[in-house]
A = this chain, B = another copy of it.
């Protein structure tokens, strides 16, 4: 409660309560019950190098918040058209804010990863069986958000046993992940960009529905063009230029 804060927004809701300070965004509650996400210019990484899987804020990039929000808005609006459930309501690029419906995370938060190529932690774990950049068929895996334990991977059975996610919810989350990743992959392909992997967060809405939450920006994915890795800010520029 010592975090409680009164804050003036441009969204018509006069006062908000400060709920949470994240690595790349802050969360406020609006008077109408919606939540407001304020995107920051911090990105995750280590020693000044961007790494979407890192647990530390490695660097601050001017305009990173707005650029991430712009791409997030772009994808969330496409998902809305496809009737894929997300927390998105609307976004204000100028203010670097997104209005969403509140959702509770599973356990203390999960990351759901969809992989089209063997890179990153997949290769570090399964390098005995996989070649670097080997195609993977929209492989879905879940990791716990737990900085102290390096975000360990966790199986469907363990998620169910520990009361984090039911088997039913796991199936729903896996199906949604494949649909959303396929949508992003398709959008990137229009610019001849290859999606190697992407991570999502999901939550439960008040009515129990499983929703995509958080954001979909350059920092959530590894994208390549003609075999060359594209930095998040660069990706956001390439995706949104006319």
**Which residue numbers of A lie inside 8 Å of B, CB to CB?**
107-108, 124-130, 136-137, 139-141, 144, 146, 148-149, 152-158, 161-164
Collect the chain B residues with CB atoms within 8 Å of residue A127's CB.
Answer: 149
| Distance of A52 from chain B, by nearest CB (Å) | 20
**Which listed residue, B107, B128, B140, touches A157 by the CB 8 Å rule?**
B140
Q: A137-B161, A161-B137, A161-B139 are in contact. Are A144 and B128 (CB under 8 A)?
A: yes
B125:A139 contact, CB within 8 angstroms: no
Main secondary structure of the interface of A (DSSP, over half): mixed
Q: In the assembled complex, how far is the CB of residue A214 from the closest CB belonging to chain B, in whole angstroms?
A: 19
- Give Cα A166–Cα B149 distance, bound, in whole angstroms: 30
Q: Is the CB of B141 within 8 A of A158?
A: yes
Q: Which residues of B contact A140 (CB under 8 A)?
A: 157
Instruction: Give the complex CA separation of A128 and B156 in angstroms.
Output: 17
B149 and A128 within 8 A (CB): yes
CB-contact partner of A154 in B125, B137, B146, B158, under 8 A:
B125
Partner of A129, one of B107, B124, B137: B107
Give the residue among A136, A140, A144, A152 with the most B Cβ atoms within 10 A: A152
Known: A141-B155, A157-B139. A162 touches B126 (CB 8 A): yes
**Contact present for B136 and A161 (CB under 8 Å):** yes
Q: Contact between A157 and B141 (Cβ–Cβ < 8 Å)?
A: yes
The minimal Cβ–Cβ distance linking A126 to chain B, given in whole angstroms, is 6
**A164 CA to B107 CA, complexed, in Å:** 31
CB pair B139–A158 under 8 Å, yes or no, is yes
Bound form: Cα–Cα A54–B240 in Å: 51
Chain B min CB distance to A199 (Å)? 16
Ordered by A's residue number, 13 sampled pairs between the chains whose C-beta atoms are within 8 Å are: A107-B128, A107-B129, A125-B144, A126-B152, A126-B158, A126-B162, A128-B149, A129-B162, A137-B161, A139-B157, A141-B157, A152-B153, A153-B155
> Are B129 and A164 interface neighbours, CB within 8 A?
yes
Within the assembled complex, what's the spacing in Å between the Cα atoms of A158 and B129? 10
The residue in A136, A137, A140, A158 that gathers the most chain B C-beta atoms within 10 A of its C-beta is: A158
Give the docked Cα–Cα distance between A140 and B56 (Å): 32
Contacts of A108 in B (CB 8 A): 128-129
- Complex CA gap A15/B19 in Å reads 74
